[in-house]
Structure 1
Amino acid sequence: MKRYLTIALAVSCLAPAQAEETQTTVNAYTAGYKANFTCSATFNGNKSNPQITEDELTGIYSLVAEYIHTLDSFVDTTNRWVRVEYDGGKRARYSVWRPRLGCVDLPVGATQQDIEKVYKPFTENTAAQADSGEPWQQRNGVNESTGNKSLDTVIEQAFSKHYGDGARTSAILIATPDQIIAERYKENFTPETAQRTWSVAKSIGASVIGAAVQQDIVKVDQQAGLENWSHPLDPRQHITLENLLHMASGLDSNQAGNRTDRVYMGGGLVSDTATQTALEVEPGTRWKYANNDTMLALRVLRESIDNTETFVHFPYQSLLDKIGMHHTFLETDWQSDFILSSQVWTTSRDLARLGVLHLQNGVWEGEQILPKDWLSYISKPAPAQPPKGAPGYGAQWWLYNERFPELPNDTIAARGNRGQFLLVIPSENLVVVRRGYDLAGEQGFSEHDFTRDVLKALKQ
Structure 2
Amino acid sequence: MWKIKFLAIVLVTSFCTGLNAQPSTADIGGARDIYDGSLYPDKAVRTYSQTEKIFPTRVIKAGGKPSPLLQSPQQLTSLKFTSEGKTYDLPDYVALNRMVGLLVLKDGKIAYEHYDFGVTVNTRWMSMSVAKSFVSTLVGAAIKDGYITSLNDPVTKYLPQLAGSAYEGVSVRDLLMMASGVKWNETYTDPSSDRRKLLELQIASNKQGAIFDVMKTLSKASEPGKNFNYSTGETVLIGEVVQAATKIPLADYLSKKIWIPVGMQANGLWWLDSPGGHEVGGSGILAVLRDFGRFGQFILDGAKVNGQSIVPDGWLADAGSAKPITGVTGKNGYGYQWWTVKPEAGKVHESVFMGRGIHGQYLYINPANNIVIVGLGARSKPVGKQAIDDLDFLAAVVDNLKIAQ
For this structure pair, what is the TM-score category when the shorter chain's length is used for normalisation?
A: 0.7 to 0.9
Q: Which residue of 2 aligns with 1:457?
A: 400
**Corresponding residue SS for 2:95:** coil
Q: Could you tell me which of 217, 220, 244 is aligned with 2:147? A: 217
Which digits, 9 at most, give the CA deviation of each residue in 1:285-330, with x for residues without a partner? Answer: 210000111011111122223x3x5665222112222212343212
**Corresponding residue SS for 1:295:** helix
Counterpart contact for 1:202–1:396, Cα < 8 Å: yes
Q: Which residue of 1 aligns with 2:389?
A: 446
Amino acid at match of 1:247: M
CA distance in 2 between partners of 1:416 and 1:318 (Å)? 23
Aligned in 2, Cα 1:376/1:172: closer, same or farther, shift over 3 Å? same
Once the two structures are TM-superposed, the CA of residue 414 in structure 1 deviates from its matched residue by 0.5
Once the two structures are TM-superposed, the CA of residue 65 in structure 1 deviates from its matched residue by 5.7
TM-score (norm 2): 0.76
Q: Which residue of 1 aligns with 2:273?
A: 333
Counterpart contact for 2:57–2:270, Cα < 8 Å: no
Aligned in 2, Cα 1:96/1:290: closer, same or farther, shift over 3 Å? closer
CA distance in 1 between partners of 2:31 and 2:250 (Å)? 32
Amino acid at match of 2:233: N
Once the two structures are TM-superposed, the CA of residue 230 in structure 1 deviates from its matched residue by 3.1
Once the two structures are TM-superposed, the CA of residue 420 in structure 1 deviates from its matched residue by 0.2
Amino acid at match of 2:393: F
CA distance in 2 between partners of 1:47 and 1:280 (Å)? 52
Counterpart contact for 1:176–1:356, Cα < 8 Å: no
Aligned in 2, Cα 1:383/1:52: closer, same or farther, shift over 3 Å? farther
Stretches of structure 2 that go unaligned for 5 or more consecutive residues are 1-19, 82-87, 188-193
Counterpart contact for 2:103–2:114, Cα < 8 Å: yes
The number of residue pairs the alignment matches comes to 353
Q: Which residue of 1 aligns with 2:260?
A: 321
Write out aligned runs for 1:161-240 (5 A).
161=96, 167-218=97-148, 219-225=150-156, 226-231=159-164, 236-240=167-171
CA distance in 1 between partners of 2:204 and 2:181 (Å)? 25
Once the two structures are TM-superposed, the CA of residue 52 in structure 1 deviates from its matched residue by 8.6
Once the two structures are TM-superposed, the CA of residue 392 in structure 1 deviates from its matched residue by 0.7
Q: Which residue of 2 aligns with 1:297?
A: 238
Aligned in 2, Cα 1:158/1:230: closer, same or farther, shift over 3 Å? same
Counterpart contact for 2:62–2:255, Cα < 8 Å: no
CA distance in 1 between partners of 2:316 and 2:68 (Å)? 20
CA distance in 1 between partners of 2:172 and 2:33 (Å)? 35
Q: Could you tell me which of 203, 223, 227 is aligned with 1:265? A: 203
Once the two structures are TM-superposed, the CA of residue 387 in structure 1 deviates from its matched residue by 3.9
Amino acid at match of 2:400: A
Q: Which residue of 2 aligns with 1:435?
A: 376
Instruction: Answer with 391-400 or 350-359: which moved more.
Output: 350-359
Amino acid at match of 1:294: T
Counterpart contact for 2:273–2:279, Cα < 8 Å: yes
Q: Which residue of 1 aligns with 2:95?
A: 160
Amino acid at match of 1:389: G
Amino acid at match of 1:146: Q
Q: Which residue of 2 aligns with 1:107?
A: none
Once the two structures are TM-superposed, the CA of residue 430 in structure 1 deviates from its matched residue by 0.6
In the alignment, is residue 363 of structure 1 matched against residue 301 of structure 2? no
**Corresponding residue SS for 1:160:** helix
Q: Which residue of 1 aligns with 2:23?
A: 49
Once the two structures are TM-superposed, the CA of residue 58 in structure 1 deviates from its matched residue by 11
Which digits, 9 at most, give the CA deviation of each residue in 1:266-286, with x for residues without a partner? Answer: 436323333442322211121
Once the two structures are TM-superposed, the CA of residue 405 in structure 1 deviates from its matched residue by 2.0
Amino acid at match of 2:71: R
Once the two structures are TM-superposed, the CA of residue 409 in structure 1 deviates from its matched residue by 1.3
Q: Could you tell me which of 374, 381, 401 is aligned with 2:342? A: 401
Aligned in 2, Cα 1:155/1:252: closer, same or farther, shift over 3 Å? same
Which digits, 9 at most, give the CA deviation of each residue in 1:61-119, with x for residues without a partner? Answer: 338769xx9xxx9xxxxxxx96xxxxxxxxxxx85455x16xxxxxxxxxxxxxxxxxx
Amino acid at match of 1:61: Y
TM-score (norm 1): 0.68
In the alignment, is residue 246 of structure 1 matched against residue 186 of structure 2? no
Amino acid at match of 1:158: Y
Instruction: Answer with 250-259 or 442-451: which moved more.
Output: 250-259
Counterpart contact for 1:199–1:415, Cα < 8 Å: yes
Which digits, 9 at most, give the CA deviation of each residue in 1:136-177, with x for residues without a partner? Answer: 3x2269xxx93644489843332222xxxxx21100100034
Percent of residue pairs bearing the same amino acid type: 21
Stretches of structure 1 that go unaligned for 5 or more consecutive residues are 1-45, 74-80, 83-93, 102-124, 162-166
Amino acid at match of 2:91: E
Instruction: Answer with 195-204 or 279-288: which moved more.
Output: 279-288
